[in-house]
Structure 1
Amino acid sequence: MKKALILPLLTLSLVAGCASTPPPEPLPSTPTEKQEFTQLYHSWSGVPYRFGGTSKKGIDCSAFMQVTMSTIYQLHLPRSTELQSKQGRYIPEDQAAFGDLVFFKTSWNQRHVGMYIGENQFMHASTSKGVIISRLDNPYWASKFWQFRRINPPS
């Protein structure tokens, strides 16, 4: 019986030894940060989308993520969605946490970004409705989903 267990245990230990390193821990989501998120969302909610916009007169998705990450986490992001999509580390969908960035491929050459806030929801600057909270399982967003990225806090 002992010999029958040796091969499976040896195989399991070899596979475990080859596992990749775990993703970085999610950004903190303390009550203070969640309160800051709520205040930020209410102050920007409904601001119209404007490509290239960076103010409450109109803002695009990547500028809104710059504002969000700077306000809540004091993290600086690049200006474009393309560059933001290369920041931090890829996170599998089942490990997404509050504060992770969520990216979509909305057409062959267009990308969109928002901030995951948990419970299958994300905050973003929508081209049709301005700054809103949407659901990842909405058929449109589900069909365009690309990736989650976790931005590492400064060391």
Structure 2
Amino acid sequence: MQEDKILLKSWLNSCHNSYKLIVGIFVMLSVLLISGCANQEAAYQDQYSDSTVINKLESQYLVWKNTPYRYGGMTVKGSDCSGLVMNTFKTHFATQLPRTTAQQAKIGDKVDELVAGDLVFFKTGRGENGLHVGIYYKDGMFLHVSTSRGVEFASLEGGYWKNNYWMSRRVI
């Protein structure tokens, strides 16, 4: 009987130690998981912070600034608005966007308060071919391809763009 009590006590201590070990492992894994997610979140926020996006847009502009407008174009030899936007997001944000402005206008979330990297859309004519897209930069400016001046920064407050503004969407 005494031996049974000793064996039972030993077994209970063993179970209690195993329980403490399992709880300890669970707590440690939880902390690692949470800190890993926090680090991933911080990396995501750093990659898409306003200053980082602004720097990437400036970098894109420096390479593309002499690019003329060319309907259907997607290179520095000539590009249309959706081609510039698609290339910028693929190159600088590892994000694949649809090819046309009409398709780009259907992705992401509509936004009212603009941050760097938001897509800005304009109705400049009729139908799907009457749309224009650019990328919000900062201080009311956006990057786009002008049909007459090529790749440039323009003001959303400029009469033409202000009068034809349609909506903005956030895709990053």
Give TM-score, length-normalised by structure 1: 0.75
How many Å separate the matches in 1 of 2:52 and 2:76? 24
Residue aligned with 1:125, SS: strand
Give the structure 2 partner of residue 108 of structure 1. Answer: 126
How many Å separate the matches in 2 of 1:100 and 1:81? 14
Determine if contact 1:29/1:99 at 8 Å carries over to the other structure.
no
How many Å separate the matches in 2 of 1:136 and 1:35? 20
For residue 76 of structure 2, the aligned residue among 53, 56, 59 is 56
Query: Whose helix proportion is higher, 1 or 2?
Result: 2
What number of residue pairs does the alignment pair up? 125
Return 5+ residue gaps in structure 2 as ranges.
1-44
How many Å separate the matches in 1 of 2:116 and 2:73? 25
Q: Flag the structure with more relative contact order, 1 or 2, with Cα contacts below 8 A and sequence separation at least 6.
A: 1
> Is 1:87 the equivalent of 2:107?
yes
Give 1:72 deviation, angstroms. 1.9
CA offsets per residue over residues 76-104 of structure 1, 9 Å max, x none?
A: 00000000000101101xx1110000000
How many Å separate the matches in 2 of 1:83 and 1:124? 17
How many Å separate the matches in 2 of 1:33 and 1:149? 15
Q: Which has the larger radius of gyration?
A: 2
Give the structure 2 partner of residue 36 of structure 1. Answer: 56
Determine if contact 1:46/1:131 at 8 Å carries over to the other structure.
yes
Give the structure 2 partner of residue 118 of structure 1. Answer: 138
How many Å separate the matches in 1 of 2:152 and 2:162? 17
CA offsets per residue over residues 99-149 of structure 1, 9 Å max, x none?
A: 000000001220000000110000001111100000000000000000000
Determine if contact 2:53/2:117 at 8 Å carries over to the other structure.
no
> Is 1:141 the equivalent of 2:139?
no
Query: Whose strand proportion is higher, 1 or 2?
Result: 1
Give 1:34 deviation, angstroms. 3.2
> Is 1:127 the equivalent of 2:143?
no
Give TM-score, length-normalised by structure 2: 0.68
Percent pairwise identity? 38
Give 1:32 deviation, angstroms. 4.4
